Chains A and B, each alone.
Chain A
Amino acid sequence: MQRQQRAQAVTIISPVHRLWALWLRATWPLADRLAPVKRPLLRLSFIHFAHWSLIERVPAGVAGARRLAHPYVLFQSNFDDELSAYIDAFSLVVPGRMRAMWQGVFGFPGPRPVDRFLSFILARTTPAQYYYCAYPEASSTMVEAALRLSEEHRRFAAEAAGLEDDAFAARYAEFLTRNQLLL
Chain B
Amino acid sequence: MSRERDTPAALVVMAQLREGREQALLDELAALPSGEESPFRRVASTHFCRWLLIPALLGADGEAAEPGRAYLLLTADFDGPLADWVAAMTREMGPHLDRIFEHCDGYRGSGELGALTDFIAERRVSVGFSILSSRATVARVRSSLELRRALREFAIDSQGMTPDALRRAWSERFGA
**B174: A residues at CB distance < 8 A:** 153, 157
Kindly state whether residue A85 has any CB partner on chain B within 8 Å: no
When the two chains form the complex, which single residue of B12, B34, B145 contacts A142, counting CB atoms closer than 8 Å? Answer: B145
Q: Look across to chain A and name the residue whose beta carbon is closest to the beta carbon of B16.
A: A58
**B170: A residues at CB distance < 8 A:** 160, 168, 172
**A165: B residues at CB distance < 8 A:** 163-164, 166-167
The 8 A CB mask of B140-160 against A (1 = contact, 0 = none) is 111111011001100100000
B46 near A132 with CB under 8 A, answer yes
Number of A residues whose C-beta is below 8 Å from B?
73
Q: How far does the alpha carbon of A52 sit from the alpha carbon of B23 in the complex, in Å?
A: 28
Secondary structure of the A side of the interface?
A: mixed
A146 near B8 with CB under 8 A, answer no
**B128: A residues at CB distance < 8 A:** 24-25, 28-29, 32, 52-54
Q: How far does the alpha carbon of A147 sit from the alpha carbon of B73 in the complex, in Å?
A: 31
Nearest CB of B to A117, in Å? 17
Kindly state whether residue A78 has any CB partner on chain B within 8 Å: yes
Nearest CB of B to A60, in Å? 4
A131 near B50 with CB under 8 A, answer yes
B50 near A74 with CB under 8 A, answer no
Secondary structure of the B side of the interface?
A: mixed
When the two chains form the complex, which single residue of B57, B138, B143, B147 contacts A68, counting CB atoms closer than 8 Å? Answer: B57
Q: Look across to chain B and name the residue whose beta carbon is closest to the beta carbon of A30.
A: B129
Nearest CB of A to B156, in Å? 10
B123 near A143 with CB under 8 A, answer no
Q: How far does the alpha carbon of A61 sit from the alpha carbon of B12 in the complex, in Å?
A: 11
A182 near B148 with CB under 8 A, answer yes
**A145: B residues at CB distance < 8 A:** 148
When the two chains form the complex, which single residue of B47, B73, B140 contacts A133, counting CB atoms closer than 8 Å? Answer: B47
Residues facing A in B74-126 (CB within 8 A) are 75, 77, 106, 121-126
Q: Look across to chain A and name the residue whose beta carbon is closest to the beta carbon of B126.
A: A53
Q: How far does the alpha carbon of A57 sit from the alpha carbon of B46 in the complex, in Å?
A: 28
> Given A130-B52, A132-B48, A74–B166 Cβ distance below 8 Å?
no
> Given A11-B50, A48-B48, A143–B75 Cβ distance below 8 Å?
no
Residues of A at the B interface (CB closer than 8 Å) are: 5, 7, 9, 11, 13-15, 24-25, 28-29, 31-32, 38, 41-42, 47-55, 58-62, 68-70, 72, 74, 76-78, 106-107, 126-136, 138, 140, 142-147, 149-150, 153, 157, 160-161, 165-166, 168-169, 172, 176, 182-183
Known: A48-B133, A143-B144. 19 other contacts (CB 8 A): A7-B48, A15-B57, A25-B128, A32-B130, A48-B48, A50-B131, A52-B127, A53-B127, A107-B62, A129-B26, A129-B29, A134-B40, A135-B138, A138-B145, A143-B133, A147-B141, A149-B148, A153-B151, A169-B166
